[in-house]
Amino acid sequence: MSDPVWRTGRWSDEHVELFIGNLLRWGVIVAAFVTAAGGILFLSLHGGSIADYRVFRGQPDSLKSVTGVAQSAFRRNPEALIQFGILLLIATPIARVALSLLAFLKQHDHVYVVVTAIVLGVLLYSLIGV
């Protein structure tokens, strides 16, 4: 196996595949851990409660935006931790596309740069919901 990217500065296909594979693997692992931690915390606080379905209670405003979810998650709000884990899971393949774009730029592969930029643009546009 050749030297790592950070030593040589070269972005071979093998380096990119290895890095993207690790990104996807660790992204899913971290997302699962955060979601499970939120679920365990939620059950430890509310596991014995009986649900009252006669009255609908929506999510608080702090859990309706990405920044609100992130701030509440860092305050160890169980519902926010669960949602933050799901956001991390959604962000993992988007990070993969962004990293692929960077790799194609470094490799000067112009056709794939254009295609990947379009895919990333569509993903971001669909998430922003403009």
pTM over 0.85: no
Residue 100 lies in a domain: yes
Residues 117, 71 contacting (CB under 8 angstroms)? no
Q: Where are the alpha helices (DSSP H) in the chain?
A: 5-8, 13-46, 66-74, 78-106, 110-128
pLDDT bin (cut points 50, 70, 90) of residue 115 is: very high
Tally of structural domains, the chain: 1
Interacting residues of 109 by C-beta distance below 8 A, sequence separation 6+: none
Residue 1 lies in a domain: no
Percent of the chain's residues with pLDDT above 70: 91
Owning domain of residue 107: 11-128
Residues 79, 62 contacting (CB under 8 angstroms)? no
